[in-house]
Amino acid sequence: MTSKSGPQPEKIPPKPRSFRSRILDGIVFLSRRQAVVVVAVTAVLVGLSLYYVRDIPIRSSYLDLLPRRDPLIEKYRAKEEELTATDYAAILLSLTAPPEDAEAGKARLRAAADRLITALLRSPEITRASYRIGEEITYPEELLLFQKLTPEDLTALQESAEETLALLSRLSLPEIQRLPRLSELDPAQLQGATTDQLLSRVDEFLTLGEVGLQVLGVLPQLQGPLHRAAEVIRRVEWAPVRGASPGGTELFSQDGTKLVLQVWPAQPAYTGLTYCQKIHRLLSEAVSQAGLSELDVAAAITGPYTMVTETNAVIRDDMHFTTWISSAGVLVLLSLTFASLFLTLVALFPLLVSALFTIAWAKLAVGGFNLVTTFLPALVLGLGIDFSIHLLARYVEERQAGRSVGGALAVAIRRKGEASLAAALTTAAVFLALLVSRSRALEEMGVIMTVGIVVAFLAAMLLTPSLIVLGYVAFRRRFREWMPLRRESLARGYRNLLPQRRAVVAITIGLTLALSYQVSQVEFRFASKQLAPRTRAAEVAQEILRELPGEVAFGDQFVFFVKDPAQLGALEEALAENPLVTGTDSLRHLLPQELLRGKASLQDLPIGDMVAALEGLEAALSRWDELRRDLAQLAPILSSLEFVSLLAGDAETAARISRFLPRLAGLHQEMGTIAAQTLLGLAGRLVSDAQVIQGFLERLAGLPDEP
């Protein structure tokens, strides 16, 4: 026994409570003492959230999954807006009962399209509608070559150019350029000229005569290639564009049972979802008002406006469906776990509240959901159910041990709440790590789920006990609280498994090693077609692309830009060599200069010089005999001049004249062997053909430069 005067035993101060314990104590206080406030505040927040998320945005573009501030993506986004500035909607008209006469079926399709056009143009949001291509565009005739020229025509032009160039390579181009002066030979012009002027003119005439004889020798060979090229050009210039009508090309399918009507709204598709929905609604109303069934015609709508609208609707429906399906699954699981309607509803309601708050947070923080994050409300339900099950399981145990409702809730919150808090913070930390991802989809997932997990924990820890307390206070009765699956049955299974722990560990390690290689081979595939849901508009678009190949497209391709137009050809060649590229379409394909390019091209011909030379030969042949007599008159003039030069002691001039005389005699003799009248007709035909080619190439030269 301790004496009163003796020393008193030292009192040990209580250990300070941890931060987590203080949090849990606060939760216990709020759920037990302020249950009405907790439920009331939750009800107000639920009402505000329901109002806030009534039009939750869902971004269906795959670009919303990519990094935000990536320069390449931003550049592509800007170019995409430029390229889609002329977006159009498309309505596919199909005959439900095709007649035997194909023209009669086409007439019905035209009538149906005209009805739709009349109905559509009543709205100021529709600027134009047409089932023809190019009806309002005027093209230079040369630009229509890509529709008129057949592969055989292109081959003929290239072969003609190649043969002509081969023939011209035998001749001297500078001398050919001087041939028009051949017909100007007149001995009378030599009178009064000095000796040097006379010899210079004689030398020129002799040279031109020799070149003219060379050209006359190849005229028969030149006739074939020039004539073939001229005939192709004449036929092409007079031929109508294949498949084209004066009002443009009608967008019929190959069998004539389908017709595509293109509709141009006032604003592009990237204006926004609301505008796309408005245009889709206008199109649907026009289809319903046109009375197409009277013509046995069915209509299907597609295009960017309808695709955006339907994709958004499908994604939204999928999000709602998966959320409700997961809620139903959670309800079934809770019913089997607790076998109590009261506990099942008490556990389910906080889960639905946490999913609703997560949706509201997604709209507030990141502007809604994208293609990847639409499943997150269901994920919150799946992850948040653990908190409610652990809490209620411990609550039921404490109630079965004889504790009161308040005491059982306090023990359950303190015992299970600490572990649940650690689990919630750990899971939130995992999602928080996604914030450093460059992928916008993963970043938004981290933003949404980091808060969503914490909200699910708080809803389970605060709202579940509060609902239990209010349930007992409001109904003043004892609810059924028990779990059909006893802890002892689970413990018995674990005890039977413990003796085999080494085998369990060995099997686990073996399976891990066996699957490690397969895990290392997992790849991330980003394909927009696989991300986007399947919609009716997409099916209609595929049908149009199948029925009208090359006429209609919806932007499903890569677009490349070059800084220097000269790089366009090299880029196209590099793409064509890639085995993954099935085809390329370039601005260069619209230019006939490019169509005519090959190993040899008409543009490579000196066509202007050829026309001048042929005209000069034609003029010379028309007075061939006269030219031959004029050459004969030069002989005595040169001979007398040679004699005078010798008498004057000018040996150099005499030597020059002596070299001219054999050339003059040879040229005079060769000119006598020429059938001038025959070659005159040939030269006239060649001039005509060359002028056709020259005029065509001059018109080509006036077109925009080829990139």
CATH code of the domain covering residue 112 = 3.30.70.1430
Q: Pick from 369, 465, 487, 468: which is nearest to 414 by CA?
A: 465
Looking at the structure, do residues 60 and 166 belong to the same domain, yes or no? no
Based on the structure, what is the number of domains in the chain?
3
Q: 685 is in which domain, residue-wise?
A: 142-242+601-701
Looking at the structure, do residues 356 and 478 belong to the same domain, yes or no? yes
* pLDDT surpasses 80 at 151: no
Looking at the structure, do residues 465 and 377 belong to the same domain, yes or no? yes
Separation in Å, CA 379 to CA 344, 453, 615, 694: 19, 10, 87, 74
Of 99 and 169, the structure prediction assigns the larger pLDDT to 99
pLDDT band at residue 355 under the 50/70/90 scheme: very high
* Domain stop point among 436, 463, 483: 483
CATH code of the domain covering residue 407 = 1.20.1640.10
pLDDT of 245 reads: 44
Classified as helix, coil or strand, 128 is strand
* pLDDT surpasses 60 at 5: no
Answer whether residue 686 is part of any domain.
yes
Q: What is the mean pLDDT of residues 389-396?
A: 87
Is pTM beyond 0.85? Reply is no
The full DSSP string for 511-570 is HHHHHHHHHHT------HHHHSPP-HHHHHHHHHHHHSTTT---S-S-----SSTTHHHH
- What does the radius of gyration of the chain's CA atoms come to, in whole angstroms? 46
pLDDT of 243 reads: 42
pLDDT of 219 reads: 76
Structure confidence by residue, pLDDT tens digits, 507-517: 889 888 888 87
Degrees, nearest 5: CA angle 292-298-301: 105
- Strand ordering across the sheet containing 126-130: 126-130, 258-265, 89-95, 297-302
pLDDT band at residue 432 under the 50/70/90 scheme: very high
Cα separation, 492 vs 222, in Å, equals: 105
Looking at the structure, do residues 362 and 456 belong to the same domain, yes or no? yes
* pLDDT surpasses 90 at 527: no
Answer whether residue 157 is part of any domain.
yes
Residue 535 backbone class (left: φ over 0; alpha: ψ -120 to 50; beta: rest): beta
**How many CA atoms lie within 13 Å of 182's alpha carbon, on the beta-carbon side?**
31
End-to-end Cα, the chain, rounded Å: 111
Looking at the structure, do residues 124 and 259 belong to the same domain, yes or no? yes
Looking at the structure, do residues 607 and 697 belong to the same domain, yes or no? yes
Answer whether residue 14 is part of any domain.
no
* pLDDT surpasses 90 at 658: no
Looking at the structure, do residues 156 and 275 belong to the same domain, yes or no? no
pLDDT of 706 reads: 47
Looking at the structure, do residues 58 and 121 belong to the same domain, yes or no? no
Answer whether residue 93 is part of any domain.
yes
Structure confidence by residue, pLDDT tens digits, 159-180: 887 887 777 777 665 666 666 6
Q: Pick from 332, 335, 329, 327: which is nearest to 356 by CA?
A: 327
Looking at the structure, do residues 357 and 468 belong to the same domain, yes or no? yes
Answer whether residue 289 is part of any domain.
yes
The burial of 12, by beta-carbon neighbours within 10 Å (0-12 exposed, 13-18 middle, 19 or more buried), is given as: exposed
User: In sequence order, what are the residues at sequence separation of 6 or more whose Cβ sits closer than 8 angstroms to the Cβ of residue 565?
Assistant: 705, 707
Degrees, nearest 5: CA angle 522-527-532: 120
The answer to whether 315 touches 58, Cβ cutoff 8 Å, is yes
Answer whether residue 584 is part of any domain.
no
* Domain stop point among 468, 483, 498: 483
Looking at the structure, do residues 133 and 146 belong to the same domain, yes or no? no
Answer whether residue 266 is part of any domain.
yes
Per the listing, tokens 């307390």 go with 469
Cα separation, 589 vs 575, in Å, equals: 15
Q: What is the mean pLDDT of residues 607-617?
A: 77
**How much is the mean pLDDT over the chain?**
77
* Domain stop point among 433, 457, 483: 483
Looking at the structure, do residues 478 and 370 belong to the same domain, yes or no? yes
The answer to whether 268 touches 125, Cβ cutoff 8 Å, is no
Q: What is the mean pLDDT of residues 308-336?
A: 83
Residue 119 backbone class (left: φ over 0; alpha: ψ -120 to 50; beta: rest): alpha
Looking at the structure, do residues 352 and 474 belong to the same domain, yes or no? yes
* pLDDT surpasses 50 at 246: no
Answer whether residue 511 is part of any domain.
no
* pLDDT surpasses 60 at 619: yes
Separation in Å, CA 121 to CA 103, 206, 290, 630: 27, 76, 12, 79
pLDDT of 360 reads: 94
* pLDDT surpasses 80 at 199: no
